[in-house]
Structures are given as structure tokens and as C-alpha cells.
Structure 1
Amino acid sequence: MAFSKCFCPSTVHSGQYFEGFTSSIRDVLRTKDFQSRESVEKTPEEAKMQIEKENEVKTLEDKVEEEEGVTALWDPDLCDGLHACVHHRQSQLLCAPICTVYRFQSEDKRWLTVREVMSETPLTFSLPRQLLSVLVCEHATRIQEMKELGELPPQWECLRCDVIKHCNHLIGSYQETLVELDRLSASCCLKSSNSKCDKYLQFVPTNLHSQRMEVITSDNISECYEVITFGAPADHHQSFRRGGLSRLVAKTADRAESSMDYSPQELSRVTELLSSLMMLQPLLFGLAEELLSVSLELNTDRLLEVMDSFKQQTELFVHTLNDELVKRALLEIHKTPAPDHSHVSHDITTSSQDSMWANVVRSLHCITIMSNRLVAREDPVQQMTSANGGPNSGRASSSWQELLLPLVVTFRDCVREALGEVRTAVMFVLLQRSLPSNAPHGFPELLQRRHAVFSQALSAAVCGITLKLHRALNQPGFLQQLQTVGLLVQFQGLLSNYGEEAAILEDMEVGVADLRDVTFTLIEAKTEEPEDLLPTLSGMWGSLVVQVPVLSDTFVLLPWELKAGSMIQIHPVFFNIGIGLWNQCQSVTDRNGNTSLQERINLQSCQHLRSYCNSLRDELPNIGGSRSLLDLLDSLECSVESQSRKSGDILRLSAMVCHAVNGVRLTSCKSAEDRTAMSLTLEQCTLLQEFHMLGQHHFNIALDCMRRSRLSWGQMLGCYTRFWLPVCMEGAGDDPTALRRSSCHLYPVAILLVTSHLLVLWLILSLVLLLAQYQ
């Protein structure tokens, strides 16, 4: 929305036309007979770029032919391409597109048609709403689990009350936010930077856009590049007085070590183990009853059959009891003493664990021995039964049941005791996970902050991954990559290490790291309706699954593993290079040497990136084993290890590695405005130079043109206007000299982002110009 105000089409005057045209697609396609591409032949001296404003293209054609004698050749292909872009199946994930088209000349004197499309997405509100619904259900389930624990010791009862109170608080807050998001999502699909601190929008990403660049050569060969831009995931509503998430989580971890010893996967696993034990208990009891019933029949074959099944299930029960996670849970409950009891020694807890499952084994062993004895006595018993008749038969069968009954009762008692111990221990660990007993004040707010930051990062990641999947599912190599090693998701940050942005960087670090617990799967879309093509979210915190609908004609062509619901792993990495406002804040931070957070983030991400590429090389040598990729990784590691704090090579090299391995790119600064636009245009021109032979001379011209275009600079113009900088939009009554004067003031302001020293020089030159004007 903030972009749209800067893109109002304007008329063209004599002496004024730009090297490019900018407009919304709906304006481009508003007439059937509109022809949108103009091929102009120029001499080498005139060869720069040809850009024309589409709403006055015919006027420009006549003007160029009249003044320069250039022949204009019209071609409807580009208009068809724009129309296809609007009605492409991916348009269900995008909305409010704005298009800009450029023509640049490559080193071999051939023309490149470059089309930029910036779009909003309904996922801005759809994913946060789904995540909030999942969290509400999860906390409601947790409350029910706490109530089902029954009577607890006093210290645990207090902890249970705290957990229930905490869960009720989050449920109420999230339901209130859901109601407000449902209302807002009906009218818009963008959260502007002015709403960063809104209470009800803290789960919604800021300025989430898809920035797509399509390059079409003169041979009609097309290549597409896509970057997701959004404001850095952070909880602006709760502010940053106490720091960001990584600092707050570290403080909580220091005070509540036991709750942080378990990873989300381990907590999910220990819960599954408890569920398995709970399911095995009635099965074991049923088999024990069946064993007693069979003993009355004096049927040896049937007795052996039931006994084999009974032994298998009991061994599975004992194996589950002996799992390392269950042992850790039992240790946790004994390591936490009651207020009026001393700490239980490790030796005692270990012996109690061993005896717990050993009792079950001994009971099973006794039942097995007795069953074998009864089977060995089968022939004499049967002979006596046949000789003496019914009364002896009844006494024999009764003796079998009498011998087995006390052993079965003992077995039941041992199973109940073991299951009760494990259930109590696991639930106690879950209690500590829900709310550490010695956590600092404000722990619910910390968890809500983590959920909000994760929601923003998840929405942006799902947008980029879904668009990537829709675009590349027809590539066999990409499908094989998804099944074997997963998908790389690279976040690029432009946050400084100073003041509030340092806390935002801490938030973003945790939000990106939490994405490692998210998996994706492909499902067949029910219909082609827009709501049926949006990704859906399921699972629980720590094990979320994103289901991406695929149209039937594409789904049937997928490998059977993906059609069967195979999980697609994602590998998020995060590289950050601090660029503050006018670069001044970051320069101060660099001189003080306080960039340890950024250096740690870049170093860890570089290690994760190397690990991913190694896995890719092992599984798919044709992609991960190329010499160019290995060279890029080596150069990236050198740049990271050199700790060059403002090195643009880190961002450039990490982006090149991401493109080489078919990854997804996301770029963000504080609000996805000025710094993001600068970085994006530089990356786009670098791609044109690397892969499409854009010459160095034309590189600078293209970069200048794209940064001055209404699409790429629209947000920056709005930003500068808020700082009372002179920005002039071309209009019907504008004086050409006034436009040139305002542009001369605007262009140095953008250059100031390069170094803070130019700020002083710019101020001095501005004063000199003002004095000259008054004289």
C-alpha cells in the first residue's frame, strides 16, 4: 500500500521521457489493442537503454521517429507475457501486482528485456491466523492434560496452576488477535511499516512482498529470479527495552536448565513414548486375561500362541521403559526435590529405574516358566482326564488357572507401577517445559514474543518456498533435491548492531532458527478455487507441517514419494551485514568493536551452509559438486572469518551460493524500505551481469535506472519524504528544470548510504549552493 502512492502514472511532455516505463499491470492490460513492446534500433553511440511509459507509448513512438529518425517495431509478445503473469496459477498466492519493464544492452550488443513485478500476498494474514489457531488448540490441549494429571504433590500442584493460568492468558490473547485479523484480512493483504507496533498485528510480517525479475533475451529465452522482501521479524509491540529474543532466552535458560535440556523433538518423542506405554497397558492386560481363559481349556497349542503374543508385547513395553529419554525424565523428577525433602541421590534414582522395569521382566519370566511347566504336563493330564472323566478334567483346568492367577496379578501390579512412574515423570517434564518453576517474571510475554517473531519469519518463508515449488516442480533435478537433502532458505539481513536494531537482530536470529523445526509436504488441491490453493498449517509448536496444494495436472507427475506425503526438510541460514541510517550508527558500532552477535550469526550460518552443500554434493554431485560452488563457499568462509564488518562480499557470495543450489532468498531490513530496495536493485543488476552478459558500463546505468524507477524507489521516496527531503514526482504541470533540480538533490542522498563521510560533504555543498542562489 505504501508503494502504490508513488506509482501514479503521469503524462509525457516534450523533452521528457525516461529510459523505461512503470505502471500497474491492470493499466497495461486495460485495452485489448494495446501493444506493449517497442524494438528500437540505435547506433552504438546511442545504445544505452530504451524505456517508455506504457500509457503514452504511441506518443513516445511518434516523438522518437520524428526527432531521431528511429524505426519503432511493435511486438505483442511482451503484452501477452504480462497477461500470462497476471493469470498464472501462482497469482492465487499474489495480489496487487505492480510491473516495470526495462531494456538493457548486453556485451554482445543484444537487447535484454527485464520485467520486474512486485506483488503483495494474502499469506501475510493467512499464515499468522492459522498459526494462532494451532497455538490456541495446543494450549487448550495442554490445559486438559494438566487437569488429567489427578492429585499431585503440593509443589507440583502450584506449578500446574501456574501452567493453566499461563495457557489461559495466551488463549485469550490469541483469540482476541484472531478476531481482529479476520476483520483486517477481509480488506487488505499488507501490513505497512506504520503499523509495526500495533498490538493486533504483532504476528503479521511487515511489508511482505514478492519481487520477481524476469529476463527475456532477444531469442525469447526467459529466466526468472525471485526474492521475498519483508521487515525483519521482530516484536515491536513489546519494544526492546530488555533486549531481543536471543538475550532473553539465554537468561531464561540460565535460570531453568532442566526445561531447556530437551529439544522440541525430544519433548515430542518422550510424549510419544508415554502414549505408546499407555496404549500397551490395556493390550497387556487383555492378553493376560486371555491367558487365564485359555488355561481353562487345557489347549496347549492355544496356550502357546497366546503366550508368544504376550511375550512380544511385554518385551516391547520393557524396551520402551528402557529408552534413554524415559530414563532422563525419571532422573528429572528425582533431581527436583520437594521443599521439605532432601535431594535424592543419583544412585538411588538409578536403582529405582532399573528395578522398575526389572520387576516387569521378572513377572513375565515367572509366567513363562509356569506356562512351560503346564505344557510339559499336558499328556499326563489329558490321559488322566480321558480315564477318569469330567470331574478330573474340571479340577485339572482349575489347577492351571490357580497356578497362573497370582503371577498375572503380580504382573499387572508391576505394569501399573512402572507406567505410573513414567507418566508422572513425563508430565513433570512437560510442566517444566510449559512454565519453568524458577523462570523470571514475564515468561508468558517471552513465549508470546517468540511466537510472534516466528509467525513473521514463517509467513515470509512459506511465501518464498511455495512460489519456488510452484515454479520448479517440472524440474526432475529439483524434485530429487527436495526428496534427498531438502531446500535451502537464505535470509539476508541489513540490520545494524547498534541500539534498537541490535535487539531486532536478536529477535530475527531466534525466529530464523525456529524454522528448522518446520517441514513441508505436497498435497493435491481439491479445487482450483483461490482458498483451496493457499498453504495450510498443521501440527504443534516444534513440529509444524506446511501443506502446499498442487493442481491435479502437476500432482500426478510428481514422484510417488512426494505424492505419498514425504516430508520436505528446509535448511534456513541467516547472514547479516549492518547498514544503519546513513551508515553512521553502524560505523560507530564497528569502531567500538561491538559486532560479536553479527559475527557469530554469520559464522554459524556459514557452517550450516557448508554442511548443506556437503550433503547435496554427496547425494547429487551434478549440483553440489561443481567447482564454481566450492569456490564460492571457500570465498564466503574467508570473508566471514576475516570479520570484515561491512563487507558486501558476504551478502553477494551467500546470494550466489543460494542461486547455485536452487535456494529461496529473503531480504529484510528494519521495515523493508530503503536498505532493502538498495540491496535488491544491486543484486538484480549483479545477476544480469553474471548470467546475462550485462557490461560494466551498462551495469552502472542499469543500477541507476532501476533505483530511480517508481517500482524500486517508490518505498524509498516515501521514506525520504518523511524526513522532509525534496522529492518531486513528474506530473502534467512540472517544470523540467525543477524536476532536474529535485533529482540532483535526491540522488546524492542515496549515495550517502555508502559512507557517513559523504554526509558532511553533502551538507557543505548544499550550503554553498544555497548561498549562491541568494546572491
Structure 2
Amino acid sequence: MIGGLFFWMCSVPELMEAPALPHLSFTVCKSITGGRSHLLAAVCKVYRFQTEDQRWMLVREQLSETPLSFSLPKQLLSALIQEHTSRVQQVKELGDLSPHWDGLRHDVISHCNHLIGCYREILTELNKPWTCFKSCSSRSNRYLQFVPTNLHSQRMMVTDPGSTGTSTRWFSFVPPFLLLVFTFSHYFSVSYSQEESYRARELLSCVAQLQPLVFGLADELLAVSLELNMSRLQQVLDSLTQQTNLLVHTLKEELVKSALLEIHNQCTATSNSSHVHSNGLVCDNSPASQDGPQDVVRRDVYDEEEWDRVWANVAKSLNCIVIMMDRLQAAEDKTSQNTGGMLFHGSTKIASPSSSSLFSWQEHLLPLVVTFRDCVREAVGKAQVAMTFVILQGAVATTVGQGPAHIVQRRHAVFSQALSAVTCGFMLKLYGGLEDAGFLQQLHSVGILAEFKSLLSTNGDEEGILEDMEVGVADLSDVAFTITKAKTEEDLLPMLTGTWGNFVVEVPLPSENFGLLPQRLKDGCLIRVHPVHFNIGIDHQQILISPDQSLSDLLASLDRNVHTRKSKNVEVLWIAAMVCRKVNGVRLTSCKSAKDRTAMSVTLEQCVLLQQRHKLSQQHFNTALDCMRGTGCRMENVQKNVGSRKFAFSSVQLLTFPKLYRPPEGSYGWTH
């Protein structure tokens, strides 16, 4: 089941005016928030709480939807369709392959076509009119699997007594992850990066162009050797030398050498194994055991220097042709001198040698040209095998090597939900920190921290959610943000570029905001995402820590608590949250639906911050908690998701919760 996550953005100055309200009263307003295109359909609550010095603070909650819930998943689906379509085309262009490698290609094509079909169907549905919100009751809708459940941005704005300004806390809510990922080792033992696969395709293309050109010049050399024009013969030889040098330079690529070695290693390791491909073919996993170009990789001892000898033989065989040409020219010159004349002078025939002299040039060059062609053919053949191996292994590793298509699809869906949430959090953090020089410097120097906090148990389907989150959180480490200048004031939604494992989210800013950035951010430097994940089931009393600890003290305390043997140490969550706030990170907290346990955690953190930073009276702490939970934005979120104003807790379940995580009487009891 898909649930929800919560993340927290740190304080940002914001001016707010609100009327004086009675103690703990509230109001609800629904509107479209202005100024930020990624927030809309706000629900607001306003309270007045008493401080320790008997004064009153004004607190406003605002819960907003975001169009990112749908815009980023649609962009991701389009990118994945394009990527898999391109991969199918790449492996089809490899031409004739041995049975084993053709079986691998068939597996890749079948895998990609299945995902392409599914993603096109989902994208077609998502392009239909939808709202910007997916409720938790829609979790089973397969067309919405890429859309985050219950994704909201929640803000809390506080006006201190006697102050004209406010301090702000930013919150957002996103779904947890569902994914069980495993790999199939029989498909590959090495993976190649996208850059290496791209380089392999370049090399194949280059070799495919150079080989016929070199062979043509070699044939032309033999033909011209029958003519009497020495300058033409030298011109052809110079062209042959130039093109052969280009070919040798191409063949010297280290990627070719390493791939040939890996092929040999796989031949040795898998000599007795077999695999059933998706086309029904049962074949040996050993590439070299198949008919075709793979036979050029020997099954015996393979020396790492063997490839160097192969491409060097091309240059040596050409050098033999050059030497023979010099010898023949010297012999003709000597013959010409003995007969009192020159054989050639420029393009003018001075003396006509015997026909046997002419034919002797071709007779001497022919075996050398044949050897040269054999050396080129062997080197090109091995290079083609190596680059085909790189491309196939890269394609296999990113497709069938990730597991069955439905597992890969699930992983992509999880990533889509996480990406939407983190992007929303980053944008809120960015807008709030445009005048914070330290924060902006942090973005281009170290990136942004995304801290995931989950309140899940290790029983039932929640254990699966935790397992899924490990992969989902890890995949976010391959994401980077970059900031661009918006073309228009309305064009402020982020754009997704790149491919799987190397996605970049371009976040546009209005020109007046873009001008506030340091030059490195204006130049488009990548802002890396650093995700971390903590999980503690909330069945023990949480200890609220002092807010005055330094970052180094908090990190030391976090390290101790992470490694302690104490069961269900929820103190980890609170310390991690404080660390994240101190380093301007994006905070995410998960439960099963982002409306029940998440609501308890969100409201608790709000009240704790009011107590620690705004001197909320201790005697009104629990009252404030009950007010936010019973009548605040989180109750509106419950109503919005399931059509009931009851948290999905039972009385028995709440007995295992610490008191600070229990909702007020009358606010729970509804069950799914």
C-alpha cells in the first residue's frame, strides 16, 4: 500500500497580518496561494496561544497542494519512454550477433518494449484532466502509481507578541516507497556507465567508417602500382597511412582493452552455465563459445597486453608496406641510373621500364597488403566484439539486470513519488533562502540534505515499505538540481532532463529572484541531493532534546543513539530533525498514509518549536497539541483523503503510543 511522507523546511522571514483572535480560536480559508506556481488550493487555520510571560502569539497553519504531483511524474514517464526507445534502437543497430548475444539483445528489447507500452498507457491517462491531489483512497489506482499520495506543503507562520515580523516553519507531505529490488547475476557481472556505452557506440561508428576506407585505399595502392605515375602512388600511400593512423588511434582506446579482458573472464567463469532467454533460446552464457565474431576471444590464457599487440600489428604491417615501397623505389632508381635515364620524374614518363619491372611492384606489395588487411580485420573484429559487449552489458544492466519488468516499473514509480516531494521541498527552501548568503553558498558547495523520517513498524506490509524506502532514498542520490532564469513569469514549474541514474531538475526563478543568486548558481552548477533515512516505530516515549546544542554536539549525540542497543530509540528521530534544520536541509517524515501518525508527528514538532523558539506556555502545550490535531489543517487533510474527520487509530493501538503522539478524544476511531 502506498502511504505518505512529511518534510520540514527551516525558518524564513515572512510578514503576515492577521486579526486578533480569541484564545485557541481558528478560521478556515480556501484559496489559491500567490507568488509561487508550485503551491495552490490552500487551507488555513489561525490560533492564538499564550506564552510563558502571559502574552499572546499568533500562529497560522497553511496546507497547500502542488502541481508537481502530476507535472514531474509525467515528465519522468516521457523521459523513461524516450530512454527505453533509444536503448531498443541501439541494440538493434548492433547487427548480426552470435546466438547467446542475440538472446541477450532479445531480452533487452522485450523488457524495454513492455515498459514502453505500460508507460505510454499511464502517461495517456495522466494527460487527462486531473486535480493536483491524489488521496490515499486512490492508492490502488494503477494509473496513478507514479503520482505521490497526499503530497502537500504545510507552513506555520508565527507572530510573536509585540513583533511586526514573523518566523516561519515550512512543512510538506509525500508518500512512502514500495519496492523490493533484486538483481539477476546470470545476466552480467560488470556494468558500464552511460558515458562508456555512449563511447562504445562512437567507437563502433568510427571503426565502421574507417575500415572500408582503409581497405579501399589498400586496393587502390595495388592498382596504382601498375601505373607509371609515382606521385600518384605516393599520394595514395600517404592517404592510407593517414587513415590507418586514425584507425590505430581509435583502436588504442582503453575501453576496448578492458572489455576484452572482461569477456575472457566471463568466458572462464560461466563456461558450464546456461540461460533461457525470453525468445525461448537455451544457450551457453559464454560469449566466446558461440559462432560469430566472439571466437576472436580465446578461451585459454589471456594476456592484458594481447590487445596492444593486436592493434600494434596494424601499424607494423603498414610499416612493412612503406618499407617495401622505399626498397622498390630505390631499386627502380638504381635500374634507371644503370640504363642512363630516370624511370619517373614527377608525373612525366622519362624512360619506360620493362613490363616485368612494373608487375614486380604489385607482386611484392600484394602479400604485404593481404597481411595488412588481415591485421586490420582482426583488430576491427575484436574491437567490434568489445564495444558490442559494452553496449549490451550496459543495456542489460539497466533493464533485465534490475529484475523483472514489474519490479523495475515499481522502482520507477517510487522514484517518481520521491522526486516530486524532494523537488517541492527544494523549491520551498530555495524561495525562502534567497537572501541567505550562507544557504546559497551551501547549495553550490555541498548541495542539499534530504532527511527522511519514518514512523513505521517492522511488521506486515510496513516492513516492505521500509525495504522499499532504502532503494527509493538511495536513488535520490543520483538527482541534482540546477537553477535557471524563467523565460516568463508564468513559466515557473521545474523541468526534468537526463536519463535514469543521472536526472537533473531545472528549477526556474523569476528574473528578480534569479538576480539574487551567486554567480556559480547563475552559471547552472549542479546542486547534489544527499538523502538519509531514519526509522523508529512510535511505541516508546520520545525525549524532546534541548534546542541549544551545537551542530557538533548534535552529531555526536546522533551517532551515539544510532549505535545504541536500546530498542525503538525514537530520540534518533528528534536529534536527526534538529541536525537537518541546522544545516538547512529538507525534512521528510513517513507513515502509512501521511495523515495519521504523520499528523501526530507534525503537530508535535510544531508545538515543540513554538515552545522552544517562541516560549509557548508549558501549561498550554497539550492544549495546543489537541487544538492542532482536533481542528487544525491535519484534520482537514484527513477529511480530504478519506471523507471522514477521524484519525484511523483504535483505542487499543493508541495504548502503545507515547502520550505526546495520541490524538484528543473524539478525533479518532475511523478505520480503513
TM-score range, shorter chain: 0.7 to 0.9
Q: Is the 8 A contact 1:523 1:565 kept in 2?
A: yes
Greater RCO between the two (CA within 8 Å, min separation 6)?
A: 2
* Alpha-carbon distance, 1:413 to partner: 2.2
Equivalence for 2:603: 681
Please give the secondary structure, in 2, of the residue aligned with 1:464.
helix
Counterparts of 1:228 and 1:627, CA distance in 2? 26
Counterpart of 2:155 (choices 203, 206, 212) is 212
Q: Is the 8 A contact 2:264 2:302 kept in 1?
A: no
User: 2:429 is aligned with what amino acid?
Assistant: K
Equivalence for 2:20: 38
Equivalence for 2:13: none
**TM-score by structure 2 length?**
0.76
Please give the secondary structure, in 1, of the residue aligned with 2:550.
helix
Equivalence for 1:226: 170
Equivalence for 2:87: 142
Equivalence for 2:196: 270
User: 1:692 is aligned with what amino acid?
Assistant: H
Q: Is the 8 A contact 1:330 1:426 kept in 2?
A: no
Counterparts of 2:613 and 2:574, CA distance in 1? 14
Return closer, same or farther for 1:348/1:724 CA change in 2, 3 Å cut-off.
Answer: closer
Please give the secondary structure, in 2, of the residue aligned with 1:38.
coil
1:87 and 2:69 equivalent?
Answer: no
Q: Is the 8 A contact 2:482 2:527 kept in 1?
A: yes
* Alpha-carbon distance, 1:155 to partner: 3.7
Return closer, same or farther for 1:722/1:431 CA change in 2, 3 Å cut-off.
Answer: same
Counterparts of 1:422 and 1:716, CA distance in 2? 58
Equivalence for 1:425: 389
Deviations, residues 219-243 of structure 1 (Å, cap 9, x unaligned)? 3343332222123233xxxxxxxxx
Counterpart of 2:97 (choices 144, 152, 170) is 152
> Map of 1:472-491 to 2, 5 A cutoff?
472-491=433-452
Deviations, residues 472-496 of structure 1 (Å, cap 9, x unaligned)? 2333322222222211111111111
Return closer, same or farther for 1:319/1:637 CA change in 2, 3 Å cut-off.
Answer: same
Counterparts of 1:749 and 1:707, CA distance in 2? 19
Equivalence for 2:77: 132
Equivalence for 1:179: 124
Q: Is the 8 A contact 1:329 1:426 kept in 2?
A: no
Return closer, same or farther for 1:153/1:231 CA change in 2, 3 Å cut-off.
Answer: same
* Alpha-carbon distance, 1:453 to partner: 1.6
Counterpart of 1:98 (choices 43, 46, 50) is 43
* Alpha-carbon distance, 1:319 to partner: 3.4
Q: Is the 8 A contact 1:229 1:667 kept in 2?
A: yes
Return closer, same or farther for 1:200/1:214 CA change in 2, 3 Å cut-off.
Answer: same
1:550 and 2:495 equivalent?
Answer: no
> Map of 1:315-326 to 2, 5 A cutoff?
315=249, 317-321=251-255, 324=258
Unaligned runs of 5+ in 2: 1-15, 225-229, 275-281, 290-296, 350-357, 542-547
Deviations, residues 109-135 of structure 1 (Å, cap 9, x unaligned)? 665433221100111111111111112
Q: Is the 8 A contact 2:135 2:149 kept in 1?
A: yes
Return closer, same or farther for 1:429/1:50 CA change in 2, 3 Å cut-off.
Answer: closer
Deviations, residues 542-577 of structure 1 (Å, cap 9, x unaligned)? 222211112223334434433333222111111111
Counterparts of 1:484 and 1:721, CA distance in 2? 46
Q: Is the 8 A contact 2:264 2:299 kept in 1?
A: no
1:570 and 2:526 equivalent?
Answer: no
User: 2:170 is aligned with what amino acid?
Assistant: E
Shifted more, 291-300 versus 702-711: the winner is 291-300
* Alpha-carbon distance, 1:178 to partner: 1.2
Equivalence for 1:453: 414
User: 2:33 is aligned with what amino acid?
Assistant: V
Return closer, same or farther for 1:280/1:159 CA change in 2, 3 Å cut-off.
Answer: closer
Equivalence for 1:18: none
1:281 and 2:207 equivalent?
Answer: yes
* Alpha-carbon distance, 1:328 to partner: 3.2
Identity percentage over the alignment? Answer: 38
Return closer, same or farther for 1:53/1:342 CA change in 2, 3 Å cut-off.
Answer: closer
Counterpart of 1:631 (choices 524, 540, 553) is 553
1:519 and 2:462 equivalent?
Answer: no
* Alpha-carbon distance, 1:515 to partner: 1.3
Equivalence for 1:257: 185
Counterparts of 1:129 and 1:636, CA distance in 2? 38
User: 1:202 is aligned with what amino acid?
Assistant: Q
Return closer, same or farther for 1:369/1:565 CA change in 2, 3 Å cut-off.
Answer: farther
* Alpha-carbon distance, 1:662 to partner: 0.9
Return closer, same or farther for 1:267/1:226 CA change in 2, 3 Å cut-off.
Answer: same
Deviations, residues 188-230 of structure 1 (Å, cap 9, x unaligned)? 1100011111111111111000111223333334333222212
1:696 and 2:647 equivalent?
Answer: no
Shifted more, 563-572 versus 403-412: the winner is 403-412
Counterparts of 2:107 and 2:250, CA distance in 1? 36
Shifted more, 131-140 versus 345-354: the winner is 345-354
* Alpha-carbon distance, 1:642 to partner: 1.7
Counterparts of 1:423 and 1:429, CA distance in 2? 10
Equivalence for 2:265: 331
Unaligned runs of 5+ in 1: 1-28, 30-34, 41-48, 56-81, 235-244, 588-625, 728-745, 767-775
* Alpha-carbon distance, 1:748 to partner: 8.3
1:462 and 2:408 equivalent?
Answer: no
Q: Is the 8 A contact 2:595 2:634 kept in 1?
A: no
Return closer, same or farther for 1:168/1:225 CA change in 2, 3 Å cut-off.
Answer: same
* Alpha-carbon distance, 1:177 to partner: 1.2
Counterparts of 1:302 and 1:558, CA distance in 2? 59
> Map of 1:378-417 to 2, 5 A cutoff?
391-393=344-346, 409=373, 412-417=376-381
Q: Is the 8 A contact 2:65 2:133 kept in 1?
A: yes
Q: Is the 8 A contact 1:518 1:543 kept in 2?
A: yes
1:754 and 2:653 equivalent?
Answer: no
* Alpha-carbon distance, 1:260 to partner: 6.7
Q: Is the 8 A contact 1:300 1:375 kept in 2?
A: no
* Alpha-carbon distance, 1:360 to partner: 0.7
Return closer, same or farther for 1:139/1:647 CA change in 2, 3 Å cut-off.
Answer: same
Deviations, residues 434-464 of structure 1 (Å, cap 9, x unaligned)? 5659x98xx1211112112221111111111
Q: Is the 8 A contact 2:188 2:396 kept in 1?
A: no
Counterparts of 1:695 and 1:300, CA distance in 2? 97
Counterparts of 1:473 and 1:381, CA distance in 2? 81
Counterparts of 1:204 and 1:637, CA distance in 2? 35
Superposition CA RMSD, Å: 4.7
Equivalence for 2:5: none
Q: Is the 8 A contact 2:107 2:400 kept in 1?
A: no
User: 1:205 is aligned with what amino acid?
Assistant: P
Please give the secondary structure, in 2, of the residue aligned with 1:93.
coil
User: 2:657 is aligned with what amino acid?
Assistant: V
Return closer, same or farther for 1:342/1:430 CA change in 2, 3 Å cut-off.
Answer: closer
Return closer, same or farther for 1:171/1:554 CA change in 2, 3 Å cut-off.
Answer: same
Which one has the bigger helix percentage?
1
Counterparts of 1:671 and 1:558, CA distance in 2? 37
**TM-score by structure 1 length?**
0.66
Deviations, residues 660-708 of structure 1 (Å, cap 9, x unaligned)? 1111111221111111111011112222333334443343343333223
Counterparts of 1:492 and 1:126, CA distance in 2? 25
User: 1:460 is aligned with what amino acid?
Assistant: A
> Map of 1:301-316 to 2, 5 A cutoff?
314-315=248-249
Return closer, same or farther for 1:135/1:322 CA change in 2, 3 Å cut-off.
Answer: closer
> Map of 1:54-93 to 2, 5 A cutoff?
86-88=33-35, 90=36, 92-93=37-38
